[in-house]
Amino acid sequence: MFTGIVTDIGQVRALEQRGDLRARIGTSYDTNGIDIGASIACDGVCLTVIELGEDWFDVEISAETVSKTNIGDDGWAVGKRLNLERALKVGDELGGHIVSGHVDGVAEVIAMVDEGDSTRVTLRAPAGLARFIAPKGSVALNGTSLTVNEVDGCDFGINFIPHTKEVTTWGDAAVGHRINLEIDTLARYVARLAEMTD
């Protein structure tokens, strides 16, 4: 489990197809404190550490994960920057919302407008996921816990303050980028309960 509070910006150093896709990710985390088998959210995708170096870790990514995320489409390439978060530990501050690292689909950035020092971003969600997104609700986008400003059909708006743009990869965002979307778990269960009572 994660909180959607990004704690490092990593970088893809190598990619190799070995049946599954293997990625080497550079990090500023102290890798002496990371165990083999640990979970790290990489742009919102929960991945398992399989090898470690002084300033990097390796993960394997299944074809299923590649097909459900932005890894494979306009995806990951050597040099790409990634939002990283280590798994939540009991007693950690829950600064965002509960995030599983299981990406539900891919949203597309369709508009960006600067408002003062902040940036308002409009994204388009897949039709099957849009009903789970509510104004003032939470979503995880590329692993970042964010509050939804408004919803219009499949389109929804997010506001990025300067701090968020500095400590995540959101400062790199552009119209047309495809973004890993994880809907709020509570929204999923509420919708399911509503279906069962209809």
The tokens for 162 are 């300067």
d(CA 137, CA 127): 17
Is 75 among the domain residues?
yes
pLDDT of res. 90: 75
Is 100 among the domain residues?
no
The one-letter code for the residue type at 48 is: T
Neighbours of 197 (CB within 10 A): 5
pTM (2 d.p.): 0.92
Distance of CA 156 to the CA centre of its chain: 16
186 shares a domain with 110: yes
Is 147 among the domain residues?
yes
81 shares a domain with 109: no
Neighbours of 119 (CB within 10 A): 19
Task: Name the strand (E) or helix (H) holding 64.
Answer: helix 63-68
First to last CA, the chain: 31
What's the domain range around 180?
105-197
163 shares a domain with 135: yes
Q: For 50-64, what is each residue's pLDDT tens digit?
A: 999 999 999 999 999
51 shares a domain with 113: no
CATH code, 128: 2.40.30.20
Is 117 among the domain residues?
yes
Which residues pair with residue 83 across a beta bridge? 9
Q: What integer best gives the mean pLDDT of the chain?
A: 93
121 shares a domain with 191: yes
Q: How many domains does the chain have?
A: 2
118 shares a domain with 78: no
Q: For 168-181, what is each residue's pLDDT tens digit?
A: 999 999 999 999 99
